[in-house]
Amino acid sequence: MMIASLKKELAALDARQIIQFISDKYGEKAVFSTSFGIEDQVITHMLAEAETKASVFTLETGRLFPETYYVWNRTLEKYGLPIKAYYPNTTAVERLVTEKGPSSFYESVENRKECCYIRKIEPLKRAIQGYEVWITGIRAEQSANREDMDFIEWDDANQIIKIHPLFHWTLSEVEDFLKQHHVPYNPLHDKGFPSIGCQPCTRAILPGEDFRAGRWWWEDRSKKECGLHATN
């Protein structure tokens, strides 16, 4: 009932209005996860405009691109919003690398999911604990898995409401917004990287390839999620 009621309230609102609604209704009980991709940069800009009380965090996996740190710094400089970094559990990373080496994720899907769990899923659970609403930069057209989602969802695994203000935006709308508002973005996006994660697990895509073809490119398309946004 709660999700249905929220959908009804937000159905006619645009992304800025959704952000403002979340800021007004949930305030400090809302949290936004950013990986500094272009969609997340749009959301950050809107949160700053709304003078939000929502918290902002990122997952520092320890395997990020140098360009990601660049845009992280630029974002702090431009918006002044505090961005809390969540790191993986040191003991878990030490055990994984000691037992399986630094690149075990290439060897099997199970190994890759283990690495994603340690570096992303477990820190995420700590980051969103105690919040009522989780804001993301997900867009429906990013992958087939995400087309099955909705712009407001109940995340049963994490017991939290998820809201995706840009869910119905196209890539060109995102890019136009960046240009119009001079939003800092990761320079890798200009080099064929539409989706940017950990450096060892991300490559540029070729013309005509799927949006997420560059993520875990050695795996079948059906497996190309790390579990952060698994559908219920």
**Right CATH number for 2-223 from 2.60.40.1080, 2.60.120.10, 3.40.50.2000, 3.40.50.620?**
3.40.50.620
Query: CA-to-CA distance for 155 and 161, rounded, in angstroms?
Result: 6
| Sequential pLDDT tens for the chain (232 residues) | 689 999 999 999 999 999 999 999 999 999 999 999 999 999 999 999 999 999 999 999 999 999 999 999 999 999 999 999 999 999 999 999 999 999 999 999 999 999 999 999 999 999 999 999 999 999 998 765 655 688 999 999 999 999 999 999 999 999 999 999 999 999 999 999 999 999 999 999 988 888 788 999 899 765 555 656 554 4
Are the CB atoms for 219 and 115 separated by under 8 Å?
no
Full 3-state SS string of 163-183? ECCCCCCCHHHHHHHHHHHCC
pTM metric for this prediction: 0.91
Task: Check if 116 is active-site.
Answer: no
Q: What does DSSP assign to residue 191?
A: G
Catalytic residue among 115, 198, 201, 226: 226
